[in-house]
Amino acid sequence: MTTGTASGSLLRSLTRTKPVDQIVAEGGQGEGGELKRSMSLLQLTLFSVGATLGTGIFVVLGEAVPLAGPAVVVAFMLAAVTALFSALSYAELAGTIPVSGSSYSYAYATLGELVAWVCGWCLLLEYAVSVSAVAVGWGSYLNEFFDKSFGFTMPAAISNSPGDDGGLINLPAVAVVALATLLLLRGTSESATANTIMVFLKIGVLVFFCAMAATAFHSGNMTPFAPMGWAGISAAGSKVFFSYIGFDAASTAGEEAKNPKRDLPLAIILSLVIVTIVYVAVGLTAVGAMPWQQFNLSGSEASLARVLDEATGVAWPSIVLSLGAVIAIASVVLTVMYGQTRILFAMSRDGLIPPIFQKVSPRTAVPVANTLIVAAFIGVLAALIPLGKLVDATSIGTLFAFALVSMGVIVLRRTRPDMPRSFRTPFYPITPLLGIGFCVYLMVGLGAVTWGVFLLWTLVGLVAYFAYGRRHSRLAARTDRGKGPG
């Protein structure tokens, strides 16, 4: 075989796409059992809201306001527009390819196996690290609640990450991961019901925050509106994009939705609208209630509770908020962990990662080993890595995956123009092109260290693909069988 022939063969193997019809036909099937279709439109929408609402607004606001000042509201809207373009692309592909793999499966159908692998690998970073970050924030609100209610806090050694104010291990973060794991192992229907309750509670807590903060609103706190100019808004936009991660959670439930072609696109769009309204309302009332210069709340990720302390001068509002956050942020851990297990399920079914990740319990219709492995990995991250390091690493992996989904819409429109689509991205091709552009713009705004981590993670993923995934790919095996002995 000549060098040119070998190179061409390698390129074809890396860019082979998995037929959409095959992806859909395999939906729900795993070793030992299959996933159960039990989720309604309401549950799907609240799954995405549960995965999204809370991550940024409860945890990251204190880091974003010092970058943009009162214009943090514009930063939230900038991130929302970026998410919207991606959400419209997600909605089209979710309705066309209603399976568990989310953007991994969409990339496999449109951009080829290697790109799909890199996308799936980035999703592992997105989901695992975002859950870890939220778990760290959950521990901060738990400490805030103990302090305000009972006058004590957990020792820093067991409630902070190493290198963060004398911390050794973050046990509260591990505890919330363990609780979410137990719930996930009970079954999808039970998890969805628990999430629905927690999401309504979470929205109620944030409405309570807006009402209390509004009583201390001072227009003078809004000036100067953008003290750091557009550069500050852009930097804050890259930071708060973390708070929109999760609206795609419904797309990971494609094989457990009752009516996926209709409900998945609706759930994605509705969830983004809901969280954007809440974020803008909370951000506006927060910066109106407390001067933006005071938002650099070192030593605590519980920024909203501190805002209520400063704004009202009494303790009980922050007690209510902290208790609500303790319960409600758990829904983010629950839903995002669910999403990661389903993406790993799809990758395993394709042979790109070991088969243990697709083994389903016949009794609960849950991938048990998959869930336990994910929980262990996330628990270690949450216990040992500080919050700030987690947030940016999550955002860059997410932005990359979102850009690939927008690209996938363009490719599938060209390669399968006649394929039935339950939802079509409006203003095509402008919308997906803007989605790609905004994602790249926000990625550029992230720091050099974050880029270094992302590139290193991608390199490790490529090594894993060539060492295992490429040799065990079921699509490759099927292709080779089709060629026959010749």
In-domain check, residue 484: no
In DSSP notation, 2-26 reads -HHHHHHHHHHHHH----HHHHHHT
Q: What CATH number does the domain containing 304 carry?
A: 1.20.1740.10
Q: What angle do CA 47, 111, 128 make, to 5 degrees?
A: 35
What's the confidence (pLDDT) of residue 436? Answer: 93
Long-range contacts of 228-233 (CB under 8 A, 24+ apart): 228/67, 228/68, 228/69, 232/67, 232/68, 232/69, 232/71, 233/68, 233/71, 233/74, 233/75, 233/78
In-domain check, residue 12: no
Reading phi first (left if > 0) and then psi (alpha if -120 to 50, else beta), residue 201 is in alpha
Assign 460 a pLDDT band (cuts: 50, 70, 90): very high
In-domain check, residue 486: no
pLDDT digits (tens, 9 = 90+) for 395-425: 787 888 888 889 999 998 998 888 888 889 9
> pLDDT: is 13 or 41 the higher one?
41
In-domain check, residue 22: no
In-domain check, residue 85: yes
pLDDT digits (tens, 9 = 90+) for 289-342: 888 887 775 444 557 777 888 777 777 888 888 787 787 778 888 888 888 888
Predicted structure pTM score: 0.80
What's the confidence (pLDDT) of residue 124? Answer: 81
What average pLDDT is seen over the chain?
Answer: 82
In-domain check, residue 327: yes
pLDDT digits (tens, 9 = 90+) for 198-250: 888 888 988 999 999 888 888 888 888 888 888 888 888 877 877 787 787 88
pLDDT digits (tens, 9 = 90+) for 171-206: 888 888 899 999 898 887 788 888 888 888 888 988
Count up the domains in the chain and report the number.
1
What's the confidence (pLDDT) of residue 464? Answer: 92
Contact by Cβ (8 Å): 129, 382: no
In-domain check, residue 336: yes
pLDDT digits (tens, 9 = 90+) for 30-89: 565 667 777 888 988 988 888 888 656 766 777 788 888 899 899 988 888 888 888 899
User: What are the beta bridge partners of residue 31?
Assistant: 359
Determine how many CB atoms are found less than 10 A away from the CB of residue 179: 13
Which domain covers residue 306, as residue numbers? 30-477
The maximal CA–CA distance of the chain, rounded, in angstroms, is 80
Whether the ω angle into residue 66 lies within 30 degrees of 0, i.e. cis, is: no
Answer whether residue 9 shows pLDDT above 70. Answer: no
DSSP 33: E
8 vs 30: CA distance, rounded Å: 33
In-domain check, residue 19: no
What's the confidence (pLDDT) of residue 430? Answer: 93
Q: Which residues contact 250 (CB under 8 A, 6 or more apart)?
A: 44, 45, 47, 48, 94, 257, 263, 264, 267, 268, 271
Interval 463-473 mean pLDDT: 89
Nearest to 257 by CA among 41, 477, 440, 75: 41
Q: Is 29 helix (H, G, I), strand (E, B) or coil?
A: strand
